[in-house]
């Protein structure tokens, strides 16, 4: 048995994060601590993202409350599929009991720019941090404005830098085609992420065939079982995996051993607790693409 303690947290962004789906102002989550019979303590983080199919913060809190007398090893591995963020947190905490600290220095990160024109003022920070990849949200402003800013952006960015464009499912097929054309012509786009909503999987398959620029699925593959389904339905582009809401880490390792997946491990704006667990996973999975974790500048140090 492991003793469980639960600490909710509230962490506001420095400025709201804008996507095609709206604004996000505060990251709410839960830090769990597991204590084993020898008195060793390890932490895990539940950082839900219901818009990507995870449980809600309230559901996670309620789930944890049933283990106020402690949780067994068997129970940790029997967390229902509807609680993928809890699955991640509990298994990570368990593994953390015997893990060593991972240094982040060796990892390439993708630096998250603000949406819209603000990206033009901020993109030099990516270079200053030694990163070669930036990510920019699209589908937030009008297509014409964003296409114009995109041209300015690639003119400012050093030649060796590439861009990830993330539409969060907010484009139409015709808008996605225009972005893909421009991306192909620029040669500077690593991939376009989730151009269409998850319901338009077939349309994304079709789009992927017509252009050189790679497409990535993100919202479509919120959980690992969805990722496996999309692979089995023929998706051979990139998969963005938000590990902290995707389910058990051992399931992800297993999928990587079974299929040749092209992965980007990506942030859900978690604290250093889940972040550390994802970097630990990254050391075993060694994905060749930059991690979607260039996000620390979105938070001030303080949190409550």
Site string for Mg ion, 162-191 (x = CB under 5 A): ----x-------------------------
Q: Which is nearer to Mg ion, 218 or 270 (CB)?
A: 218
Instruction: Say whether 242 is catalytic.
Output: yes
Tokens representing 116? Answer: 């819209």
Task: Please say whether the beta carbons of 108 and 78 come within 8 A.
Answer: no
CB of residue 5 to Mg ion, shortest distance in Å = 32
Q: Which is nearer to Mg ion, 31 or 119 (CB)?
A: 119
C-alpha 234/C-alpha 57 separation (Å) is 33
Number of shown-chain residues binding Mg ion (CB under 5 A): 3
Tokens representing 272? Answer: 């250093």
Q: Which is nearer to Mg ion, 86 or 221 (CB)?
A: 221
Site string for Mg ion, 214-253 (x = CB under 5 A): ----x-----------------------------------
Given 137, 181, 209, 302, the catalytic residue: 137
C-alpha 15/C-alpha 140 separation (Å) is 16
Task: Give the range of 22-30, 157-165, 200-208, 211-219 binding Mg ion by CB under 5 A.
Answer: 211-219
Nearest to 205 by CA among 236, 164, 241, 228: 236
Instruction: Say whether 127 is catalytic.
Output: no
Q: Is residue 193 within the footprint of Mg ion (CB under 5 A)?
A: yes
CB of residue 289 to Mg ion, shortest distance in Å = 13
Q: Is residue 270 within the footprint of Mg ion (CB under 5 A)?
A: no
Tokens representing 180? Answer: 């893909």
- Give the CB-nearest residue to Mg ion: 218
The sign of the CA dihedral 155, 156, 162, 163 is negative
The sign of the CA dihedral 178, 236, 293, 60 is positive
Tokens representing 216? Answer: 């990535």
Opening angle at CA 281, ends 114 and 14, nearest 5: 25
Q: Which residues are catalytic?
A: 137, 242
Binding-site positions for Mg(2+) read 166, 193, 218
């Amino acid at each position: 048995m492991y003793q469980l303690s639960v600490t909710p947290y509230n962490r506001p962004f420095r400025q709201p994060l804008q996507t095609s789906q709206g604004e996000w102002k505060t990251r709410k989550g839960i830090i769990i601590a597991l204590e084993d019979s020898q008195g060793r303590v390890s932490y895990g983080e539940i950082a839900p993202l219901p818009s990507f199919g995870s449980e809600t913060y309230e559901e996670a809190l309620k789930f944890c409350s049933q283990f106020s007398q402690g949780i067994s090893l068997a129970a940790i591995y029997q967390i229902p599929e509807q609680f993928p963020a809890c699955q991640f947190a509990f298994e990570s905490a368990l593994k953390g009991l015997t893990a060593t600290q991972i240094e982040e220095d060796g990892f390439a990160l993708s630096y998250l720019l603000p949406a819209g024109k603000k990206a033009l003022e901020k993109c030099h920070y990516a270079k200053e941090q030694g990163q070669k990849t930036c990510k920019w949200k699209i589908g937030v402003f009008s297509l014409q404005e964003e296409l114009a800013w995109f041209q300015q952006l690639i003119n400012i960015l050093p030649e060796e830098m590439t861009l990830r464009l993330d539409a969060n499912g907010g484009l139409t097929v015709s808008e996605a085609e225009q972005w893909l054309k421009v991306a192909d012509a620029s040669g500077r786009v690593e991939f376009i992420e989730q151009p269409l909503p998850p319901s338009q999987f077939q349309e994304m398959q079709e789009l992927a065939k017509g252009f050189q620029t790679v497409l990535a699925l993100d919202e479509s593959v919120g959980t690992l079982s969805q990722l496996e389904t999309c692979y089995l339905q023929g998706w051979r582009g990139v998969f963005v995996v938000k590990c902290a809401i995707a389910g058990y880490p051992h399931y992800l390792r297993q999928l990587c051993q079974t299929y040749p997946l092209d992965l980007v491990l990506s942030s859900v704006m978690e604290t250093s607790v889940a972040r550390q667990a994802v970097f630990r996973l990254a050391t075993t999975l060694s994905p060749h693409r930059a991690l979607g974790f260039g996000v620390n500048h979105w938070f001030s140090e303080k949190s409550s």
